[in-house]
Structure 1
Amino acid sequence: MSDHALKAGLYMILAMASFTAGDTMTKLLAGQVPVGEIILIRGMVATAIITVVCIKQGVLIHAAQAFKRTILARSLSDMAGTLLFITALMHMPIANLTAIMQVVPLLVIGFAALFLGEKVGPRRILAILVGLTGVLFIVKPSPASFTFYDGLSLGLIVTVALRDIFTRKLTIDVPTMIVAFGNALIVMLSGLALYPFEDWIVPSPRHLLIIFCGGSFLTIGYVAMVLTIRLGDIASTAIYRYTVVIFALISGVFVFGEMPDRWVFLGIALIVISGIYALIREMKISAGCEKVDAGFSQKSRAYLKNRSRL
C-alpha cells in the first residue's frame, strides 16, 4: 500500500469517528433543541473554525471558488443530506441510521454508471441489490413498522451518494479548506431557513457546550473526508467507511442503550459484505485497466520508435 493510500484510509477512519461523535452530540439534544437551531449553531461553530484555518493558510482569498458550480452542487447535496440525517437521527437508533448510510458507496457505483459513463458489470449490480436488501431488513418496510423517518433515511442515502459523485468531479486547483468552507456555510444557512417552521428556544449553557462539541467534530470530519477522496481513489478509501458502523454501534449501546435486533444485524452484514465486495471488484477492474493502458503505452512507444527509423 502506498503512503498516499494509507493516509487516505486513516483520514477516512478519522472522518467516520468524527462524524459519529458529532452525531452522538446531536442526538443527545433530541426533544430539547429544534433541528434547525442545532444545524445553525453547529454550522456557525464549524464555519468559524474553518474560516480561521483558511486565514492561517492564506486561502480565504479564494473563497469565491466555493460557489463554483461543482462545489456548490456538492454543498447543496450535503445541505439536503444534513437536514434529512439530523431529522431522522432524532427519531431512529443511531446504529440503524448509520448502517443504512453504508449503502452509499454502492449507490455511488450505480450513479457513476448513470452520470459519469462508468461501466458496471453484473457482479457489482448484484452487490448493489444485496446491499439494498440489507437496507430493507433494517427499515422493515411494512405498514406496521415503517415510519416517516425510515423514508427520510432512504432519501438521505440518495443525496449523500450524489454529494460523493460531485466530490469526484472536483479539480485539484481548489484548496481543500475552501471546499470545506463552502460546505459548512451553506449547511449553516439551511438551519436558519427552518426558523419559520420551528419553535426555537434560548439554548442553555449545556446545550451550547454539546452543540459546540458537535460542531468541532463536524469540522474535523469535513476536512478529513475531503482529504480522503483527494489523496486516494474512491474505491480503495471507501472500504474504510464501514468503520463508522462499529463507532455507531458503540455509541448506540453505551450512550443511548439501543441494542439492534437480529434483523438489523443481518441487514448490516449484507450491506457491509456487498459493499466491500463491490469495491474490491472495482479496484480489480481499475487495476486491469491500468495494465491495459500501460501495455498500449509501451506498444505506442515501440511503434513510434520504429517509425522514426524509417
Structure 2
Amino acid sequence: MVMTDNLRGALLMTGSMTAFTVNDAFMKLLSEDLPFFQLLFVRSVAVAVLIGVMAWRANAFARRLSPQDKKLVAIRSLAEIGAAYFFLNALFNLPIANVTAILQALPLTVALGAALVLREHVGWRRFLAIGIGFGGVLLIVRPTGDGFTLYSVYALLSVVCVTVRDLAARKLSRDVPSLLVALAAVLGVLAFSVVGAAFVEWQPMDGRDSVLMVFAVLAIIGGYLFSVMAMRVGEIGAVAPFRYTSLLAALVIGLLVFSEWPDMLTQIGALIVVATGLFTLWRERNTARKAPPGLRVR
C-alpha cells in the first residue's frame, strides 16, 4: 500500500487522538489518589517545560505579536483554563466514554460559533446538521434523567470553552507560531493551578502515581506533536474526520481499564453527534473547494 500524505496524516491524527485519550485515562486513575489542583499543577509544570523548550528551539519567541493577536492569545488562554477545569472535573466524575462523546460536538459548536460570532457563512444544511447533532448531545447528557449531575454541566461547559478557544485561534494572524500560542495557554493553566494548589492539602505521590504522571505527560505531549504533524502532512479536510477516533479509544479504555460501557441511549447520541459532525466537516470542505480563489467561504 502506498503511503500518501493524506494516509500518513490520518494515521498521525489517529495517534494524536489516541494519545490524548490515554492521557485522560492516566489522569482519571491519578484522581483516585491525588487532589485536582495538585494533579493539574504537576502536569502543567512538565508540559510547560517541554513545550517551552520546543518553542525556544523553533525560535518562536522571536515573533512579536500585534495588540490584536495578544488580545486573542489572552482570550484563548482564558478559555483553555476554563476547558481544563471543567473537562477534568467532568472526566474524574463521569465515564470517560460519555465525556469524550460530548466533546465530539466540537465541530458543530465551532461551526455555529463561526456563523454567529465571526459572521462566516453557514448554509441551511449545516444548520440542520448542527440542530440534529445537539439532539444527540441531549441523548448523552439527558438533563431530565437520574444520571444528570453537576459534572454533566461541566462537560457541556468544557465544550463551550474549547469552542471559544478554537474561534479565537481562527482569528489569529497566520504567522503567529503555534508553539507560542500553545505555551501561553499552558502557562495560563499553570498559573491557575498554582492558585488552586495553594488551598488544598497535597498528598504524597508514591511510585505508582509517579509512573502514571510520567506516562500522562508523555501521552499529552505526543498528542500535541502528532496533531501538529498531522495538519502539516495531509489535507485538513481529509485528516480532520479522524479526530473522532478518540471516541473509539475512549470506549476501549473505558471497558478495559474502568469496566465502563455507555448505555444504548448514550451510544445512539454519540453516533448522531459523530455523523452530523462528519457531515459538517464534509460540507465545509466542499464549500471551500467551490469558493472562488481568495474567498474564504464556510
Fold conserved between structures, TM > 0.5: yes
Distance apart, 1:4 and its partner CA:
6.4
What secondary structure, in the 3-state scheme, does the structure 1 residue paired with 2:292 have?
A: helix
In 1: Cα distance, 2:75 partner to 2:226 partner? 19
Counterpart in the other structure of 1:94:
96
In 2: Cα distance, 1:115 partner to 1:229 partner? 25
Q: TM-score, normalised by structure 2?
A: 0.88
Q: TM-score, normalised by structure 1?
A: 0.85
Asked whether the equivalents of residues 65 and 176 of structure 2 are also in contact (C-alpha less than 8 Å), the reply is no
Distance apart, 1:228 and its partner CA:
5.0
Distance apart, 1:54 and its partner CA:
2.7
Which of 261, 264, 267 aligns to 1:262? It is 264
The Cα RMSD (Å) is 2.7
In 1: Cα distance, 2:229 partner to 2:76 partner? 15
In 2: Cα distance, 1:235 partner to 1:194 partner? 40
Which of 108, 119, 125 aligns to 1:106? It is 108
Counterpart in the other structure of 2:37:
36
Greater mean alpha carbon deviation, residues 190-199 or residues 43-52: 190-199
Greater mean alpha carbon deviation, residues 70-79 or residues 191-200: 191-200
Asked whether the equivalents of residues 41 and 197 of structure 2 are also in contact (C-alpha less than 8 Å), the reply is no
Equivalent residues in 2 for 1:1-310 (5 A)?
8-62=9-63, 68-142=70-144, 144-226=146-228, 228=230, 236-290=238-292
Distance apart, 1:48 and its partner CA:
1.3
Q: Which runs of 5+ in 1 are unaligned?
A: 294-310
What secondary structure, in the 3-state scheme, does the structure 2 residue paired with 1:194 have?
A: helix
Asked whether the equivalents of residues 51 and 60 of structure 1 are also in contact (C-alpha less than 8 Å), the reply is no
In the superposition, relative to structure 1, how do residues 8 and 240 fare at CA in structure 2: closer, same or farther (>3 Å)?
same
What secondary structure, in the 3-state scheme, does the structure 1 residue paired with 2:258 have?
A: coil
Q: Deviations over 1:257-293 (max 9, x none)?
A: 1011111110111001111112111212222213796
Greater mean alpha carbon deviation, residues 26-35 or residues 176-185: 176-185
In the superposition, relative to structure 1, how do residues 157 and 166 fare at CA in structure 2: closer, same or farther (>3 Å)?
same
Instruction: Count residues in correspondence.
Output: 292
What secondary structure, in the 3-state scheme, does the structure 1 residue paired with 2:93 have?
A: coil
In 1: Cα distance, 2:11 partner to 2:187 partner? 26
In 1: Cα distance, 2:254 partner to 2:64 partner? 38
In 2: Cα distance, 1:116 partner to 1:6 partner? 32
Greater mean alpha carbon deviation, residues 70-79 or residues 95-104: 70-79
Distance apart, 1:154 and its partner CA:
0.9
In 2: Cα distance, 1:167 partner to 1:236 partner? 20
In the superposition, relative to structure 1, how do residues 14 and 164 fare at CA in structure 2: closer, same or farther (>3 Å)?
farther
Instruction: Among all aligned residue pairs of Structure 1 and Structure 2, give the percentage whose two residues are the same amino acid.
Output: 33
Q: Which runs of 5+ in 2 are unaligned?
A: none
Greater mean alpha carbon deviation, residues 4-13 or residues 147-156: 4-13
Distance apart, 1:250 and its partner CA:
1.0
Q: Deviations over 1:202-255 (max 9, x none)?
A: 222321221222122212223444555567776554312111111111110111
